[in-house]
Amino acid sequence: MAFLIGGANSAADTGYNVDNSCRFNSADSAELTKTPGGAGNLDAWTLSFWFKRSNISGAGATSYQALYGVYADANNQEILAIQNDDKMYWQLYQSGSVVGQLTTTRVFRDVGAWYNVVISYDSANGTAGNRMRMWINGTEETSFSTDTNPSSGLDSQWNGTTKHQIGMITTTNKFDGYMAEIVSLDGTAVTDATNFGEFDSDSPTIWKPKDVSGLSGSKGTNGFYLDFEDSSNLGNDVYGGTDFSEDNIVAADQATDTPTNNFATLNSNHLKDGVAYAEGNCKVTMSKLHNHRMGQGSTIAAASGKWYCEVKCKGGHDPDDPSVQLGVLIPEYFDHDDHLGNHAGGWQYAANGSKAHSGTATHDHADTYDVDDIVSIAMDLDNHKLYFAKNGTWQDSGDPTSGSTGTGSFFDLDTGEFYSFSLSAYDAGTDPFYEWNFGGCPAFAISSGNADANGYGNFEYAPPSGYYALCTKNLAEFG
């Protein structure tokens, strides 16, 4: 049994699979750009895409995060963005004035879920309230804190000849997270979201993607479809139009964390002072100047099954320090201000080779780990065992495969609890940072490449037999 600490959208299996997404790391100023060679339809169009947030307000994010932007100059621009209060807004700004705007009343703070957004622009519509429309996960938004309708026949800037940006507007307001299945239809203003998704028949609150390849006939002049399946050309337009340019996006930003297979990441909703997230919430930096002892946990926790992940120690890490701790944590302890191993709900392997649980540390059970070492964590929640490896060698006489029957584990775990992968560090070197790999989009370069037995994940070391990446497709089978 498992749960997403955030929402469980897209956790259900689906007949249509989205294979890839693209990671946008705001610190890299990552974006996709294209300047259309000629204008398309400025009065009727539709844009649909899926996104999963990483940094949210106060977690290292820019104040506004642009999902798309068209910027002619300071007085003429168009943007769809997440505000610093985590509401979404879509604004048309022309000649120095707001001529159309929708700002939601709901907020988008769930870093464990994928959202689908469909926006439709139809300036010729006789009903003013239908000229700008928005659907989130298949349901039309009707409650807005700002609802300014454009005048009849007002041209937008989308499909014009100004540079179109995905993940940024001009050089600011950078998006941090993942995007998938970006579809633009030039000349078609949809009246519902059913071209792009459907509600799951078994779980009718779950909105899931549909195959959009057949919509190419509605792409018009400047429509496009980005599926991110070609790692050498992540801006490839599947509909055959001019590709987008990739700015500060590389092949390693291709992810298998998608709306149809949602992978665990670190949960930036549990933010501490001095903690910063990056690389799709798979990199965490912990400032030495702040008290940040309590663990940073994964967005998915499980109570059954066998699960695997990896952590690479990077710059600023202080070897032999007992306050650098990797392990697992019961989610109810996320906000407790203490070391991972000091809690009744935390189990840790420290950089000095010690292990600790519930405030009791035992020394000389494992090798110390240092900068560029990779620690593997394998938790067996069927037999309540926990194992750690350093650079592929299992510690403390552990053997996750044969030991899962009850011998050779680094720790025995409590029964009947949910567990997340976790990290804590305090007064440990100079601003240490740690790169995690839950399998969906590693924060560090993989030299070998190993998937689990179901073919999911991309790991430096092969997961032990019977252990799997912590993602929704595996959870549906084993969790």
We report the CATH number of the domain holding residue 195 as: 2.60.120.200
157 and 294 inside one domain: no
Look up residue 456 and give its two tokens: 């999911």
152 and 186 inside one domain: yes
Has residue 269 been placed in a domain? Answer: no
Has residue 431 been placed in a domain? Answer: yes
Among the listed residues 158, 155, 161, 156, the one whose alpha carbon sits nearest the alpha carbon of residue 38:
161
Has residue 122 been placed in a domain? Answer: yes
**Which residue is listed with tokens 């000849």?**
161
**Which residue is listed with tokens 């000091």?**
342
The whole domain housing 471 covers 275-478
**pLDDT value of residue 59:** 46
215 and 361 inside one domain: no
Q: What CATH code is carried by the domain that includes residue 306?
A: 2.60.120.920
Q: How many domains does the chain have?
A: 2
* Final residue belonging to a domain, choices 224, 255, 286: 255
Spatial contact of 263 and 441, defined as CB atoms under 8 Å apart: yes
Among the listed residues 386, 366, 390, 365, the one whose alpha carbon sits nearest the alpha carbon of residue 376:
390
**pLDDT value of residue 7:** 42
**pLDDT value of residue 191:** 98
* 154-171 residue pLDDT tens: 999 999 999 999 999 999
Has residue 409 been placed in a domain? Answer: yes
Spatial contact of 355 and 361, defined as CB atoms under 8 Å apart: yes
206 and 354 inside one domain: no
* 208-259 residue pLDDT tens: 999 999 999 999 999 999 999 999 999 999 999 999 999 999 999 999 999 9
224 and 308 inside one domain: no
Has residue 6 been placed in a domain? Answer: no
pTM above 0.75, yes or no: yes
286 and 251 inside one domain: no
Look up residue 287 and give its two tokens: 């400032």
Residues with Cβ within 8 Å of residue 373, at least 6 apart in sequence:
312, 313, 390, 391
Has residue 268 been placed in a domain? Answer: no
236 and 356 inside one domain: no
Q: DSSP secondary-structure letter at 403?
A: G
87 and 160 inside one domain: yes
Average pLDDT along the chain, 479 residues, taken 10 residues at a time: 45 76 96 98 98 75 84 97 94 98 96 97 98 98 97 98 97 95 98 97 92 96 98 98 98 98 91 79 76 72 97 74 83 78 89 89 86 95 95 92 80 93 72 90 94 98 97 94
186 and 287 inside one domain: no
Has residue 5 been placed in a domain? Answer: no
**pLDDT value of residue 339:** 79
* Final residue belonging to a domain, choices 223, 255, 287: 255
Has residue 404 been placed in a domain? Answer: yes
